[in-house]
Structure 1
Amino acid sequence: MADAAPRIIDIAEHALSRPFPLRVRAWDGSEAGPPGAPALVFRRRRALRRIMWRPGELGLARAWVAGDLTVDGDLYDALDLLSGVLWDREERPA
């Protein structure tokens, strides 16, 4: 059953309290998210674990450097979209 990508989107949207702006392609071949958007490609489950353990930029950076997470599409567009939702989340009052 290939359903990791929709689940990742659901988790991200719940954590961010807003729509996730990127597509997600998971290790199981599933894909979800806005059509035409750059895709975060979770090459291995380990990428998700890294991000969950260290939310924000540190987890993303560790997954990227390890080769567990890549971007399909324009890297700068993906980073711009992602940083916008992460920074907006940090500025919101609790």
Structure 2
Amino acid sequence: MSNLAMITAAVIGGTLLPLAVVLAIVGYRHGLTRNPFTDCRLCQGTGVKRGALFTRSFRFCHACDATGLTLRLGVRMFNIPVPADQEHLRRLRRDRNSIR
């Protein structure tokens, strides 16, 4: 094996891979703090559930409290606090959906 190949293997295995992993984790966590909510899976982000038999009837979604938003999995796993301004936007969206 040449010296260049050994140096390249040492750099990739020794410093670049852990650095890339750390940067990926930091980037993911930053993304979670910037956008902690995702659309609710039960109501597809509408805040209401339609009836299966009577399709014009609806009820408010219990999973997202009629906001259409739920916390992302990483926010719940890492216990990241949600900024107050984003929680306020969630409540505004809930109030807008309850008017419908």
Provide the TM-score with structure 2 as the length reference: 0.28
Q: Which has the larger radius of gyration?
A: 2
Provide the TM-score with structure 1 as the length reference: 0.29
